[in-house]
Structure 1
Amino acid sequence: MTTKRLFFALNATDPLSKSFLPIYKKIKINADKKEISVKWVPTENFHITVSFLGDRDIEDIPRITEVLKRVCTEFSPFDLKVEDVGAFSNEHDARVLWLGIQNKRALNEFKNKLDLELQAEGLFGGEMRDYRPHLTFGRLRNPRSVKDMISPFKRKSFGKIQVSEIVLYESTLQGAFPVYTPLLRCPLTGPTQEIELMPEL
């Protein structure tokens, strides 16, 4: 049976084109100066993963899209602050370079609801683990310290991303980088939220 590699994400290409790309270029220059080999993520691939489904049978896609549509009717658009530059597992033994995304309650509630609905339908096999939203922009070929390379950009603000839709993507490997093809762009059409009284996560 034919499968597709699927994930849900927020598209982050357009909002960051002016605020982050100049910094992205500076970090690339710093990496070259320090002879740190990095596989840079093309800007058209910039995204914030919400849930990764992995390889799913093509026959499952209609059910997956129905779950997404259903959950999107319960949530209204929201925004997320974009700030900080960091590394996994840490700055001294870095494998992945990331841009920080606000861990807002609205995003967490959406993800939890989506994962639980998919799980109930037998469509989600991943672990329910703590969610750390981020945008990966580089992967090191060998672990290195990147503290000096990224320190000028720590705790820097890059504005906000307006989240008005969730996208179901298919990932296919073509050449050196995966190609992300949107299969469904689902708008958030839920009622406008009341002013939140509790502090954000």
Structure 2
Amino acid sequence: MTKTLCRLLGALFLPALAACTQPDNSPQAAARLPGAPLDTMTDPATGQPVIRGPVLTGTAPRTPGKSSTASSIGEPASQSAEALNTATRGERAQAASAPTGGERRLGTTVASLGDPSQPGFWVRTPLVKSETAGRIVNPANGKSAKVRLIPLGGPAGGGSQVSLPALQLIGVSLTDLPTVEVFAG
């Protein structure tokens, strides 16, 4: 009797178990799957409805033979920092000359490379409210550069953007984030 009862329960249990493993083809289940079509979706930028379709994941296909690396963003890979530095020897000598006096120390700032395509000796910094002549000093080696101080929004403790020729003149690697002293006058 017990053996027969176990066989009967097993015969009833297996179909019930098989029914539990059947795929759920409901729309709610399809929406939970990655890449499944969405019922409704709007573009957050425009508020317009988006065409119903699969949710795409991964990366976009690339053009054969082209690649995008950190060295090729914004400039051809063949251009070096020296090629972008358009300052003449005379301009470099003038920028490196000793200060004439009457300077006022504005503070220190973390310097990063500004737009390398912009020529000249300049610093965009939140330490000034109007454009003025100034100087930056690298305290690590004492080298300085006369620059044009250009206002940059943000808190006074925020970082500054320095031109390529100015960074090279004060002996800073273009990938470093040194603290430099800023003077006006």
**What's the TM-score, normalizing by structure 1?**
0.22
In our comparison, the structure showing a higher alpha carbon Rg is 2
**Which is richer in strand?**
1
Which structure has more relative contact order (CA 8 Å, sep 6+)? It is 1
**What's the TM-score, normalizing by structure 2?**
0.23
